Amino acid sequence: MEAKATHKYIGSSPRKMRLVVDLIRGESVDKALEILHFSTKHAARDAEKVLRSAVANLFNKDEDNKHEISELYIKEAYVNQGPMLKRILPAPMGRAYRIRKRSNHLTIVVATKN
């Protein structure tokens, strides 16, 4: 049994989010929650929120069977690039620098170890 949760349009770059997601990919859910909760990275908050949502989705999807959090693991976790906000920063001598504010989409799939 597996369940998926996504969070779109997160306001950080995909590169920063991938650093956090690479730490938890393939881990058990309880260990991943511990890693994310005590991580100093700002992206870990959003990743923890999505992971908790995926676990809740699994519990709601399969209400007949009781699942323990220790029996769950992260089957897939990936980050895709979201849309970019393009801004202009005035620069010396009449020039302008382009600022690209990046966003990302985070997807986490949780499954049972059976």
CATH 3.90.470.10 fits 2-112, yes or no: yes
What was the pLDDT predicted at 112? 94
CB-side neighbour CA atoms (13 Å) of 97? 8
The H or E element that residue 21 is part of is helix 14-24
pLDDT digit string (tens) for 51-92?
999 999 999 998 888 889 999 999 999 999 999 999 999 999
What was the pLDDT predicted at 65? 84
What was the pLDDT predicted at 63? 82
| Residues contacting residue 93 through CB under 8 Å, at least 6 positions apart | none
What was the pLDDT predicted at 64? 85
b/e code 98-107 from CB counts within 10 Å (16+ = b): eeeebbbbbb
What was the pLDDT predicted at 9? 98
pLDDT digit string (tens) for 3-51?
999 999 999 999 999 999 999 999 999 999 999 999 999 999 999 999 9
What residue spans define the domains of the chain?
A: 2-112
